[in-house]
Amino acid sequence: MNSTIKEEKPKNTISKVLEVILTMVSRPSGLIGLIILIFHVTLAITSPLYVPHDYKAIDPSLMLQPPSSEYWFGTDSLGRDVFTRTILGGRTALTVTFFGSLIALLWGGAVGIFCGLVGGKIDDVVMRIIDAFLSIPWILAMLLIVSLLGTSIIVLIPALGFFYGKGIVRVARAATHDVIAKDFIVSARARGHSNFSIIWNEILPNVRDAIMVEGAMRWSWMLLGFSSLSFLGFGVSPPTPDWGLMISNARGLMSFAYWSVLAPIFGLSSLIIGINLTADAFAKALGIDRSTKAPV
């Protein structure tokens, strides 16, 4: 935990960010992760400009074509180009999970710091409720919400953000507990600073790293959760190109047409691995050890 008082002169934000990135790429796993992640993000932003085919053009005469020079990854059961759909597939996943993680970070961090600072009865009650939420399997809760409110991105982003934020609450609370008894907080109180000023100027700089690392890890879990939902048919609706949906559609026919299931599998796996490696390197660059944390 980054709870020691920094002795060196405070650096400006840009040089600190640069230092973190340099430390991340100095390890091979971090470099690979970052490259994969940047590749996927670039692809997601720019792919509509150069996709070779229309992702929703159905052509029965082209059903289940094996890979060829025209259709690089072959075609699926409706004659759609698998290559086009695969490189477009990351867009929805990245958008939903990025904004979902942002929501999770904001509410989880805010509630966690608040609980850690206030303590006492309020803290007890809130943590009990969070514990109860943790003991409902996320998949059941997500499926219920999505099936009752509909499968639109407007529902998915806050729902994912809410359910993956509860882990961040715990981390933020623990990190706040670590710094709350430190001298600089006590002296800030003695100087008569308001609660808000203490949170903003004293606590936040000390818990920010832990919360951000947790958020990065949650991002990859959220991506896993989101694609599982799509796979089960509760994520985005067709014909949106989405990896989970593509795998689920192509699965039944994979004894004839393995290419239409392998391409989205490769896309999704590489993105998740990329995010994971990056998050790991990020944690190590900030000096936070996550190796003993359990997956909750």
Rounded to a whole number of angstroms, the minimum distance from the CB of residue 142 to other proteins is: 9
Show contacts with other proteins in window 241-260 (CB under 8 A): 244, 247-248, 251, 254-255, 258
Least Å distance between CB 127 and other proteins? 9
3-state helix, strand, coil in the chain (%, to 5): 70, 0, 25
Within 13 Å of residue 268, how many CA atoms lie on the same side as its CB?
A: 28
Q: Is 132 in the site for other proteins (CB under 8 A)?
A: yes
Q: How far apart, in Å, do the first and last CA atoms of the chain sit?
A: 19
Residue among 217, 199, 183, 207 at smallest CA distance from 2 = 207
Kindly tell me which of 14 and 294 has the beta carbon lying closer to other proteins.
294
Binding segment for other proteins among 39-47, 57-65, 179-187, 266-274 (CB under 8 A)? 266-274
**Residue 292 touches other proteins, criterion: CB under 8 A:** yes
Stretch that binds other proteins, among 87-95, 104-112, 205-213, 264-272 (CB under 8 A): 264-272
The answer to whether 189 and 198 are in contact (CB under 8 A) is yes
Spatial distance between the Cα atoms of 94 and 44, rounded to a whole number of angstroms:
8
Task: Please state the closest distance from residue 260 (CB atom) to other proteins, in A.
Answer: 12
Q: Is 133 a residue that touches other proteins (CB under 8 A)?
A: yes
Secondary structure of residue 75 in the 3-state scheme: strand
169, two tokens = 């609450």
Residue from 198, 261, 283, 288 touching other proteins (CB under 8 A): that is: 261
Contacts of other proteins in 24-63 (CB under 8 A): none
Q: How many helices (H) and strands (E) does the chain have?
A: 11, 0
**Contacting other proteins within 136-165 (CB under 8 A):** 136-141, 143-145, 147-149
Q: How far is CA 257 from CA 72, 140, 228, 238, 250, in A?
A: 13, 32, 22, 20, 8
C-alpha closest to that of 72 among 94, 91, 59, 87: 87
Instruction: Please tell me the count of residues contacting other proteins according to CB under 8 A.
Output: 46
Q: Which residues are at the interface with other proteins (CB under 8 A)?
A: 128-129, 131-141, 143-145, 147-149, 220, 224, 227-228, 231-232, 234, 244, 247-248, 251, 254-255, 258, 261-262, 265, 268-269, 272-273, 276, 291-292, 294-296
